[in-house]
Amino acid sequence: MFDKHKNHLTEDVSIRNIIVVDCKSSGINYIGDIVNRGYNPVVLELKWANEDVEEYQAILKRGYDSIDDEFDMIFERDTYEETLEAVKKYDPKLIVPGNEHGVILATRLANDLNLLCNPIENLDAMTFKDKMQERIAEAGLRHIRGKAVKSIDEAIDFYDREGLEEVVLKPTYSAGSAGVKMCNNRNEMIDALEEVFGTLNYYGEDITEMVVQERIRGTEYYVNTASCDGVHMVSLIWKYKKVETLEGDIIYDTVETVNELGIGESEMVEYAYDVADALGIRYGPVHGEYMIDENGPVLIEVNCRPSGASMPAKYLDRIAGHHETDLFLDSYLKPKRFHEKRKNRYRLLAHGALKLFIVPKDIIARSTPMNNISPRLKSFFGSTLVDIGDTEIFYPKTHDLDTSCGFVYMVHEDLDVLQKDIEFLRRVEMDAFSLVLSNEELEYEPIDDEKIARDIKKIVKSIEDYGTGLLITDQFIDDAEIIQTGIKDIDRLNGEFDYVIINLNKSMIGHTDDISVDIILSILSNIRVGGLVCVPKTTYEYFPSKRKGIEALIKTLNLRIEVPPHGLDVGIVASRESF
């Protein structure tokens, strides 16, 4: 083997190759699984239609750099025939799609090389949003009324003829929620089509055709299945929570595992099997999105590739005891093992969730405080939020999946712990967003050292009866009857004091917000059980999101925010009841 992603053949021709087309997101997990089975992984990188090739290449590089194993690499050629010839040189055992954009090419190549795969005649139904609904309708399954249109006039004609009210618009070929619009009436539909036609889909291609669908309201899920010679099994079930904006955009809030089936959910699984049969799925993955309403389950769309969200294999293993790309390879290479696993009951080891962050407005971010906060949560597994460092990044207001600024992977055996952490992140997102991304532009009053000294003296005097105290301060306060220290010596705190007063303002101004968060978290972490911490206005007015920002950090570490006593103006008071 050789250094990863070099463009030449593996010298040892006795090793069979498995090609992953468009190796991105959770499809990256294929590489390690292929190596572990004694095969050589080959990544086939697709051409990018969008003008922003540099951003696309940066995304690919981050994915490739996260892969520990070595792999060969080839590139899509100008014509399909040239690509086919390049692939033939590798004499592949399998060709699988790593992401949605790779489904068409992977299926064509596998069919032309007579490899195990899904039949080419089913490809349109596997990839185009209108065709999959038509196919399941032909099979007698419940489907959503809709029509693919190439003009606003076509859309109006269908809307009026069907007597529709609320509708969903989506590109016939795309991914995520790019280009998806919810419209409450005819005029909103027209406005949305005028906005979307001529823009680019998720893959950077011109949107020339849209699907107009009757809107179904209910609870949305995705069911991941694997198929082996037409026999299907569930690998993992997740439930969405989405938010609709005033502009009609649908944006993701959370995705959470379904660990035990509730009312109506077993019927959805049976329906998912029927959908896979109707689409002619013989091998590999289906990431199917479904809605359950008062009439039961109905298909939103299918994606015949691994689940998205770049879920690490170890994360999925922690939740389910397995990860899906390994199961998909079983369906092709180890059918006996696949059928043995199919006999197992659906039992998850832990509860999983993704919290996707919603950017409330355009922002030029200069730090990412959340990357110092989320690892303190009990359910934290990982994060996709970028560490900005010494640069700055523009984030637009979130309007679809692609414009979320990132998300946190969460997992815990106790559902209550997980839900508490999710709710905490929601509150931070809503009430203190500068703790997620910060533009470092906090407005504050000029520091008045004399006034601060007077205020701190009053606070020290008012709480001196609570025991032995420590003042962590930027201004040394003369005549204050309390031990004082600066932030460089906060290690002396070490859980030894009955109460701690935090008076940091110059330190907050002098550091980026992510560092300010780290400073406060370090102090709060060392409050002893039974001890108090006071954070007066002299500190929180200079902290990102001010008072709510400090309160968010207090909740991060499971301290208790105390009811403020009347007449005791000490700012935020919190206590630690346990670790």
12 pLDDT higher than 70: no
Q: CA-CA distances (angstroms) from residue 10 to 35, 72, 77, 459?
A: 13, 7, 20, 71
Q: How far is CA 364 from the centre of its chain?
A: 21
SS3 516: helix
Integer Cα distance of 360 and 363 in angstroms: 9
202 pLDDT higher than 80: no
Label residues 191-215 b or e (16+ Cβ within 10 Å = b): ebbeebbeebbbbbeebebbbbbee
Mean pLDDT over residues 509-514, rounded?
Answer: 92
Please report, rounded to a whole number, the percentage of residues in the chain having pLDDT higher than 70.
96
Degrees to nearest 5, angle at CA 117 with 41 and 74: 30
Helix axes 29-36, 313-320, angle to 10 degrees: 80
Looking at 3.40.50.10330, 3.40.50.1360, 3.10.180.10, 3.30.1490.20, the CATH number of the domain 145-214 comes to: 3.30.1490.20
Q: In terms of CATH architecture, what is 449-575?
A: 3-Layer(aba) Sandwich (3.40)
What pLDDT score does 10 carry?
46
Say which residue the tokens 């990044």 belong to: 393
What pLDDT score does 45 carry?
95
20 pLDDT higher than 70: yes
Residues forming CATH 3.30.1490.20 domain(s) in the chain: 145-214
CB 375 within 8 Å of CB 368: no
CB 507 within 8 Å of CB 516: yes
Residues forming CATH 3.40.50.20 domain(s) in the chain: 17-117
Cβ count near 485 (within 10 Å) = 15
SS3 479: coil
Q: Give residues with Cβ within 8 angstroms of 311, minimum separation 6.
A: 26, 29, 323, 409
What pLDDT score does 8 carry?
44
Integer Cα distance of 223 and 276 in angstroms: 11
Please give the class, per CATH, of domain 17-117.
alpha beta
What pLDDT score does 7 carry?
44
Please give the class, per CATH, of domain 219-435.
alpha beta
Integer Cα distance of 312 and 27 in angstroms: 9
521 pLDDT higher than 50: yes
CB 218 within 8 Å of CB 203: no
CB 164 within 8 Å of CB 123: no
1 pLDDT band (50/70/90 cuts)?
Answer: very low
Residues forming CATH 3.30.470.20 domain(s) in the chain: 219-435
What pLDDT score does 51 carry?
60
- Read off the pLDDT of residues 264-287 as tens digits, 9 standing for 90 and up: 999 999 999 999 999 999 999 999
59 pLDDT band (50/70/90 cuts)?
Answer: confident
Pairing of strands 92-97, 146-149: unpaired
91: left (phi over 0), alpha (psi -120 to 50) or beta: left
Integer Cα distance of 377 and 370 in angstroms: 11
SS3 52: coil
What's at 356, amino acid-wise? L
SS3 463: helix
CB 4 within 8 Å of CB 64: yes
SS3 88: helix
Lowest-confidence region among 111-120, 376-385, 488-497: 488-497
499 pLDDT higher than 90: yes
- Read off the pLDDT of residues 205-217 as tens digits, 9 standing for 90 and up: 788 999 999 999 9
**Dihedral over alpha carbons 78, 79, 80, 82 (to 10 degrees):** -80
Q: Which two tokens stand for residue 105?
A: 């090419």
Pairing of strands 219-228, 181-183: unpaired
SS3 252: strand
What's at 568, amino acid-wise? L
SS3 236: strand
What's at 466, amino acid-wise? Y
Say which residue the tokens 């109506």 belong to: 264
What pLDDT score does 515 carry?
94
What pLDDT score does 3 carry?
47
- Read off the pLDDT of residues 311-343 as tens digits, 9 standing for 90 and up: 999 999 999 999 999 999 999 999 999 999 999
What pLDDT score does 15 carry?
74
Please report, rounded to a whole number, the percentage of residues in the chain having pLDDT higher than 90.
78
